[in-house]
Amino acid sequence: MTFPDRRLRRLRRTPAIRQLVAETRVGVDDLIAPLFVRENCENPQPIESMPGVMQHSQESLKEEVRQLRQLGVTGIILFGLPERKDSVGSEAWNPDGVVQVALKNLRDEHGDGLVAIADLCVDEYTDHGHCGIVTSSGEIDNDATLELYQKTALAQVEAGADMVAPSGMMDGQVAAIRQALDANGHELTPIMAYSAKYASAEYGPFRDAVDVTIAGGGNRKTYQQNPANAREAIEEIRLDVAEGADLIMVKPALAYLDIIYRARQEIDLPLAAYHVSGEYAMLKAAAANGWIDGLATGIEHLTAIKRAGADLILTYLTREVAEALQ
């Protein structure tokens, strides 16, 4: 059947009809809010490059999570800003460290009504800004770093994390963490692996948010993925699944919709995508200049990510979109 008998505009005539036949829907259940908590901070500190996002105190974090829960958001992921840093990032597994304190507070208040995910890496905690142990020759010691991740995972779960999310892109990190959790009675704690995490230019505002500078002007290209590669991403995902990942993630999202789509074709595990700080900052900057409708564009971004195949979206737009969906 062709025109004039077939008219696709019939199903676009009214907002109600368009909503009824929409193929992709973004809801609050799809969203995970990334939140930053700073040690020994009395008042929340705005992040200049991420308008509307804060470095929280423990008290302001609790209030932010209360408001998110009232909006129907159940998922958050925590990033910590410690007062003290060292060469191995030892505050990452300190039982009294900033994220562990936050997890205990949130677990006490919300119980199982909140899915509290702990980002698992040490870059926020190291004085050199890398995601692992740096050798005397300047290399990242992959296997020695895995021991740090194991200790951090245990500290986070014992503090109340429902899920850990290793983001350091060390080979074998999922297997090492799974082994440590299982050996200590945490067989039911899931791992959300940052499986396809690219060495993107879009992380700058995030590094402002967590006060991280890589020593000597370095980068993470020896462990994060080359943005030119797609097949490599699928191999990373397969390896993480084989090592015991329960969910996998693609990061960033918008420039990697093809990776999200291919991952969805390859695996049946829950698939997350991270709408990263640079994507958020560009949207906010354009909206502030009146060049775009920020909220409408943000929802379009998230819809595209979900349409590509993501089940879950980590986004700094979580609160704004949840309010709009009320």
Taking the C-alpha atoms of 254, 204, 63 and 93 in order, what is their torsion angle to the nearest 10 degrees? 110
Catalytic site residues?
A: 197, 251
Q: Where do runs of H (alpha helix) occur along 184-290?
A: 204-209, 231-243, 257-266, 277-288
Backbone conformation region of residue 323, classed left if phi is above 0, alpha if psi is from -120 to 50, else beta? alpha
Q: Where are the alpha helices (DSSP H) in the chain?
A: 15-20, 58-70, 98-110, 142-159, 173-183, 204-209, 231-243, 257-266, 277-288, 294-308, 318-324
What is the rounded CA–CA span in Å between residue 132 and residue 214? Answer: 12
Q: Where are the alpha helices (DSSP H) in 131-172?
A: 142-159
Exposure letters 179-210 (e unless 16+ CB within 10 A, then b): bbbeeeebeebbbbbbbbbbebebbebbbbbb
| 193: three-class secondary structure by DSSP | strand
As given in the structure block, the two tokens for residue 217 are: 């002007």
SS3 166: strand
Residues pairing with 247 in the sheet: 192
